[in-house]
Amino acid sequence: MRPPIQPLLTAAEIQARVNALADAITPRLQPDVVMITLLTGAFVFAADLARALSARGVPVCLDFMILSSYGSGTTSSGSITTRLDCRQELTGRQVLLVDDILDTGTTLDFAKRLILAKGSSQLLTCVLLDKPSRRKVPVEAEFVGFRVPDLFVVGYGIDYNEMYRELPYVATLAAP
């Protein structure tokens, strides 16, 4: 049974922000940029962002990583597991790292260190949502879609026990 949700960000608000992010990111990108998306939660955001960047004349080489810290709960375990690593050669290349939520900072910090260890010449980060009140690791994203309060969010690719990814908007999971 699907728990109830409460809308937080509309599809129109998200699309407007994706376009604004693409406008801000475009001048900072080099021609041979690799866009690495952290799966699975960021796949919808990354697809929209990649199309927005392409519409601005910036093609991206797409790659993916799967890092896990949540399992089936609503709180991070704090321990990161690499389930899928990127396949692109990153030595000397610029990377745009895309994630759904910057929460405790543990996952983004882990991914950044992993990418820089692979020889990336420049690393930029972009997140759809930022929850600064939950930060445990001092890391910030260069590009942020929305700052949100400490609520469990779903939709637009983000799930709760693999539910709600298909929503075109972001919602909060209602308290039980």
Q: List the catalytic residues.
A: 103
Cβ burial 97-117 (10 Å sphere, 16+ → b, else e): bbbbbbbbbbbbbbbbebbee
Q: How far is the C-alpha of 100 from the C-alpha of 1, rounded, in Å?
A: 24
Q: How far is the C-alpha of 131 from the C-alpha of 140, rounded, in Å?
A: 10
Q: Please name the residue that has the structure tokens 């030595």.
A: 91
Q: Is 140 helix (H, G, I), strand (E, B) or coil?
A: coil
